[in-house]
Amino acid sequence: MILTVTTLKDTLPNVQRFVAGNLAGGIDHLIVFLDAADPEVESWLTAQPDVTLVVTDRSWWNGERPRLLNRRQRLNANLARAVLTRVEGAEWLFHLDADEIARIDRAELAAVPADAPAVNLRPLEVVSQLRPAGEPRLFKRLLEEPDLLLLEALGVLDEPDNDRYFRSHIAGKVGVRPRLDVWLGIHKAVDHADDRLPLHRSPGLEMLHLESYSGEEFVRKWTAMIGSGPRMNFGEHRMKLATALKAVVTKDLAPEEAAHFLTAIYERHMQDPVDVLSRLGLLTEVDPLSGDHRPERLPQEQSERLRSLLEALRGEDKWQFLPERAGAAEVTATMDRIAGRPSGSGRRGLFRRS
């Protein structure tokens, strides 16, 4: 069984596309940590049979909610990874964001060598248009040097670098076999010393990244992201743009004025020359919901066990699930203790399971 873990704060239509796309693209079950109260999203996710939902309210963080979104994502992902070591049938866990959809060739994933602890999902990034017609379907692939040089010569890129071609990450995302000696990062897998582990790559392991596919989505996402923590950490050239965006968001501007300036930045720095890229044959058309995977339903017994173990960890120190804070031995001891509790004996809180 293949699972994902996501710390999520998004609109209901985006969440619905995220769930449907991943289930069609090769995922069997999604573990979602709801990062902010949203009754509409919570209600919909609760009703989904292939989703396990954890509402991360005050009781989840026990007064120690990390201010940085990336830190909350890593803690939740590795807590889920530890729990899945005690859930029969969990083969892989992929750490995805709410705007990412896995496209997994299950036969190729099954062929990954048994000694490979982690795999990489190569990214395809959606093209961005101010006012796209319909749902996003056109995606950019990472380019080889000749095409990057061509785009530089045409004035599309300042530098012949995929890091400038893509608006967001080029590293893709990572899946790991649920083990207590392997940790999930945002774009990497690491050991107990926080050293990177090698990632197995295969043409059939990809992900669609729906990063700011419209001007409206760009304004919504960046406004939310800048407000999610006290500081941001991007590559050097993106950091300048992020600082400029933060300057707009933190000014005392009327919402329509802030949106005006954010849209102006989007048009200057973010939207893609879709016509040029299309005429050069550099775009791939993909319907994010077009996968033909039929999810394997998590058996009731294992579903209840997943729910019970996650709920039992509600009152526990979450920081032990980062490699720099504790090793596999401490997490093993915690899981041994938690797994020994009778089902439902953990402290009750806002936990939702479909």
In three state form, how does the secondary structure of 137-150 look? CEEECCCCHHHHHH
Q: What is the mean pLDDT of residues 251-262?
A: 90
pTM of the model: 0.90
User: In this structure, how many other beta carbons lie within 10 angstroms of the beta carbon of residue 38?
Assistant: 18
Give per-residue pLDDT as tens, 86-134: 999 999 999 999 999 999 999 999 999 999 999 999 999 999 999 888 8
Distance CA 89, CA 332 (A): 19
For residue range 18-68, list pLDDT tens digits in order: 999 999 999 999 999 999 999 999 999 999 999 999 999 999 999 889 999
Q: How far apart are the first and last CA of the chain?
A: 17
**What percent of the chain has pLDDT above 70?**
92
d(CA 228, CA 67): 7
Asked if residue 138 lies in contact with residue 275, where contact means CB atoms within 8 angstroms, the answer is no
Average pLDDT over the chain reads 90
Nearest to 138 by CA among 337, 37, 273, 247: 273
Per-residue pLDDT at 15 exceeds 60: yes
Instruction: Check whether 342 has a pLDDT greater than 50.
Output: no
- Count CB-CB contacts under 10 A for residue 268: 9
Helix (H, G, I), strand (E, B) or coil at 293: coil
Which among 34, 77, 88 has a CA at the least distance from the CA of 349?
34
- Domains of the chain, earliest start first: 2-212+286-353 (3.90.550), 215-269 (no CATH)
pLDDT of residue 353: 37
Three-state secondary-structure class, residue 3: strand
